[in-house]
Amino acid sequence: MKKDIDGLTLYFNSLKERYIIHTGEYDFYGYGMYIMEHDGNAFVRLYMDKDVLYIDMLSVSLSHRSKKIASDLLCIAEQVAKFLLCENILLWCNKYEWVFNWYKRLGYEFYLNHYEDNCVWMKKQLIRY
């Protein structure tokens, strides 16, 4: 199968009303994407290495939490991963914070210990159709 860049472009175009999206940035971590709500109250950085999509810096302003904004951003990340034929999504978080259980409820599982104290890598394996 081939990565669906055209489909990804159409998908990003469908999100433009709510999000600002920057793509195509290569850095130390690989191919990066930044997705931010127009009002600036939520954003996520995604980067890809081989067949893995990494979620980094998922953040929602305190005043905008509990509105499913972070869940929406994670759904976008999963769609991006599918267009790019990624087999897994990885992220890291503090295992003693509420977010660890939140990610578990969304299908992420413990994967590896992170080098930072109390932090772990979590993984979600994507189903291919």
Structural domains of the chain in order of their starting residue, each with its CATH number: 5-92 (3.40.630.30)
Cβ atoms within 10 Å of 19's Cβ, excluding its own = 19
DSSP the chain: ----HHHHHHHHHHHTTTEEEEEEEEETTEEEEEEEETTSSEEEEEEEETTEEEEEEEEE-GGG-SSSHHHHHHHHHHHHHHHTT-SEEEEEEETTSHHHHHHHHTT-EEEEE-SSTTEEEEEEEPPP-
pLDDT for the residue 8: 83
Residue whose entry in the numeric block shows the structure tokens 């950085």: 45
**Per residue in 44-83, pLDDT tens?**
999 988 889 999 889 999 999 888 999 999 999 999 999 8
pLDDT for the residue 78: 93
Work out the percent of the chain whose per-residue pLDDT is above 90.
54
pLDDT for the residue 84: 87
Q: Could you tell me the pTM of the whole model?
A: 0.86
Mean per-residue pLDDT, 11-28: 81
pLDDT for the residue 31: 73
Query: How far is the C-alpha of 83 from the C-alpha of 9, rounded, in Å?
Result: 10
Handedness of CA 28, 9, 85, 113 (dihedral sign): positive
pLDDT for the residue 129: 54
Cβ atoms within 10 Å of 58's Cβ, excluding its own = 20
Is the model's pLDDT at 91 over the cut of 90? yes
